[in-house]
Amino acid sequence: MLPVIVAAAAAEEGGGTAFILPPAYEIFWAAVVLLLIVLVVGRYGLPRIYRVLDERAERIEKGLELAAKAEEGQADAEKRAERLVQEARLEAAHIRQDAQNQAKEIIAQARQAAQVDAAAIQEGASRQILAEKQAAQISLRTDVGLLATALAERIVGEQLRDTDLSARVIDRFLDELEKAPTSHGIDNGVAVEELR
């Protein structure tokens, strides 16, 4: 309470401004202390603050450069990936085309092999048919010869003893049968069967 009374007494003595303005010596010492603080902060504090701010600005710039490089790298990587995908698609198309060409070649080779096999089978069958035909003709000649001889013996009433003569007669008879026209689309072999 004493300072309030002293202040009130001082206000009555100096007027209205003494109460608001401090004494001159306080202003002087406050200015000296402020000047010392400004000098110390300016000499030691500000360089450190500026250095920290500069380092931070450098890190930010490096980070931005790295981000720009990363974006460029990502764009390059995307281009490379797209190029690789395109190359893979082209290679897959070539592989498909080669596979189709190989399949066509395999099919053509299989067809050719099948045709060769079919021709060989057909030729073998033709040979077998020819061999069977010849065997049937020989068998038929023998059977017809025996039948003709037996028939001739019955007609003549004697046994034919001359085998050469019998063979000539049989051959002549078979030759005449072969030369004779077929009746109603039936060949000589079937006509001979009808004669039996």
Least confident of 41-45, 172-176, 182-186, 187-191: 187-191
The DSSP call for residue 186 is B
Q: Which of 5-19, 120-134, 137-151 has the highest mean pLDDT?
A: 120-134
* 21 CB-contact burial (10 Å; exposed 0-12 / middle 13-18 / buried 19+): exposed
Residue 119 pLDDT > 70:
yes
The tally of CA atoms less than 13 A away on the side-chain side of residue 137 is 13
- pLDDT confidence of residue 18: 67
Q: In the structure, what pLDDT confidence band is assigned to residue 5 with cuts at 50, 70 and 90?
A: low
- pLDDT confidence of residue 8: 52
Residue 168 pLDDT > 60:
yes
Residue 173 CB contacts under 8 Å (≥ 6 apart), including other chains: 144, 148
Residue 183 pLDDT > 80:
no
Residue 108 pLDDT > 90:
yes
The tally of CA atoms less than 13 A away on the side-chain side of residue 93 is 6
